[in-house]
Structure 1
Amino acid sequence: MATTNGTNGVNGVNGHANTPPHEQNVPATSLLAAFVANATTDCLTPAMLEKLHELLIDYIGVVVGARDNADSTEPIYAAIRALQGPQVTGPCTVLGMGAPHMLPQYAGLLNSAFGHSMDFDDTHVEGPLHPGVTAISAAMTQAELLGSSSSSLDFLLAMAIGYEITVRVGRELDYSTYDRGFHLTSIAGIYGAVASIAVLKHLDAKTVEMAWGLAGSKAAGSMQYLDNGSWNKRLHPGFAVHDAFMCVGLAEAGVIGATRIFEGKMGFLQAYSPNPNQDMRRLTAGLGTEWLWPASSLKPYPACRMTHGFIELSGNMHTAAKGGVSAADVSAITLSMSPACFKLIGDPSPNKKHPNNVIDGQFSAYFQVANALAYGSKTGLQAYSRLSDEKIHALCDKITVKIVTSMKGFEARMDVQWADGRTDQVEQLFPLGETQHPFTRDKVDEKFFSLAVPVYGEAKSRDIIKMVDSLEKHSVEQLLVLLR
Structure 2
Amino acid sequence: MMNYISEKLTNFAKDTTFKDIPKEVREKVKLHLLDSLGIGIRGHNSTPVNAVFSAFSKLNTTDEGASVILGDRKFRAPTAAMINGTHIHSLDFDDTELEGCVHLSTCAVPSALSVGEENKASGKEIISAITVGYETMIRLGMAAPWEFHDRGMHATPFCGIFASALIAGKLMELEKSEMVNALGICGSMVTPSAQQFLVSGEPIKCIHPGIASKLGILAAIFSREGLEGPDEIFEGSLGIYKVFLGENNYSLEKLTEGLNRKWKTLDISVKTYPSCHITHSYMDCTNRILKRQDLSPKDIKEIVCVVEKTPSKVVCEPIEEKRKPKTGYGAKFSVPYCVSLVMHGKGKRVKDFEDRKVQAEKSVKDTASKVRCDTRPEIEGGLPGWVIVETINGDKFEEKQKFPKGHPKNPITEKEILEKFEKNTEKRFDKKERTNIVDKVKKLEKTEDINSLTKLLEIR
Is the shorter-chain TM-score for this pair beyond 0.5, marking a shared fold? yes
1:163-187: per-residue Cα shift (whole Å, max 9, x none)? Answer: 1111000111210212333211111
Alignment correspondent of 2:55:
79
Residue identity in the other structure for 1:279: S
* Residue number among 180, 187, 191 corresponding to 2:158 in the alignment: 187
From the superposition, tell whether residues 432 and 111 of structure 1 become closer, same or farther in structure 2 (CA, over 3 Å). same
Q: Are the counterparts in 2 of residues 144 and 476 from structure 1 also a CA contact under 8 Å? A: yes
Structure-2 separation of matches of 1:478 and 1:285? 36
Equivalent residues, number: 452
Structure-2 separation of matches of 1:136 and 1:380? 22
1:250 aligns with 2:222: yes
Q: Are the counterparts in 1 of residues 274 and 349 from structure 2 also a CA contact under 8 Å? A: no
1:338 aligns with 2:338: no
1:194-224: per-residue Cα shift (whole Å, max 9, x none)? Answer: 1111221222322111111111111122212
1:308 aligns with 2:280: yes
Q: Are the counterparts in 2 of residues 318 and 374 from structure 1 also a CA contact under 8 Å? A: no
Aligned-partner SS, 2:435: helix
Q: Are the counterparts in 1 of residues 199 and 317 from structure 2 also a CA contact under 8 Å? A: no
Please give the TM-score of this superposition, normalised by the length of structure 2.
0.94
Return the offset for 1:275: 7.5
Q: Give the aligned CA root-mean-square deviation in angstroms.
A: 1.8
Q: Are the counterparts in 1 of residues 147 and 249 from structure 2 also a CA contact under 8 Å? A: no
Alignment correspondent of 1:435:
408
Aligned-partner SS, 1:454: coil
Aligned-partner SS, 2:388: strand
Aligned-partner SS, 1:120: coil
Q: Which moved more, 1:89-98 or 1:118-127?
A: 89-98
1:388-430: per-residue Cα shift (whole Å, max 9, x none)? Answer: 3122112111111001234353011011111222111211110
Return the offset for 1:356: 1.2
Show the 5 A alignment for 1:294-373: 294-321=266-293, 325-326=296-297, 328-373=298-343
* Residue number among 407, 418, 424 corresponding to 1:445 in the alignment: 418
Structure-2 separation of matches of 1:181 and 1:331? 32
Q: Which moved more, 1:127-136 or 1:71-80?
A: 71-80
- List runs of 5+ in structure 2 lacking aligned partners: none
Return the offset for 1:76: 2.2
Aligned-partner SS, 1:414: strand
Q: Are the counterparts in 2 of residues 128 and 175 from structure 1 also a CA contact under 8 Å? A: yes
Aligned-partner SS, 2:406: coil
Residue identity in the other structure for 2:303: I
Give me the identity figure in percent: 23
Return the offset for 1:272: 2.4
1:257-314: per-residue Cα shift (whole Å, max 9, x none)? Answer: 0221111121111122358352233321221111112211110101000000011112
Residue identity in the other structure for 2:146: Y
1:208-251: per-residue Cα shift (whole Å, max 9, x none)? Answer: 11111111111122212223222320111111111112111111
Alignment correspondent of 2:77:
104
Alignment correspondent of 2:256:
284
Structure-2 separation of matches of 1:204 and 1:387? 53
Show the 5 A alignment for 1:81-480: 81-84=57-60, 88-98=62-72, 100-147=73-120, 150-220=121-191, 221-274=193-246, 276=248, 278-321=250-293, 325-326=296-297, 328-384=298-354, 385-408=357-380, 409-474=382-447, 475-480=449-454
Structure-1 separation of matches of 2:247 and 2:67? 39
1:418-459: per-residue Cα shift (whole Å, max 9, x none)? Answer: 122211121111000101111111110111011112112222
1:99-158: per-residue Cα shift (whole Å, max 9, x none)? Answer: x421211111100011101001110011101011111110010110011xx321011000
Structure-1 separation of matches of 2:247 and 2:415? 39
Alignment correspondent of 2:21:
44
Structure-2 separation of matches of 1:249 and 1:207? 9
From the superposition, tell whether residues 103 and 201 of structure 1 become closer, same or farther in structure 2 (CA, over 3 Å). closer
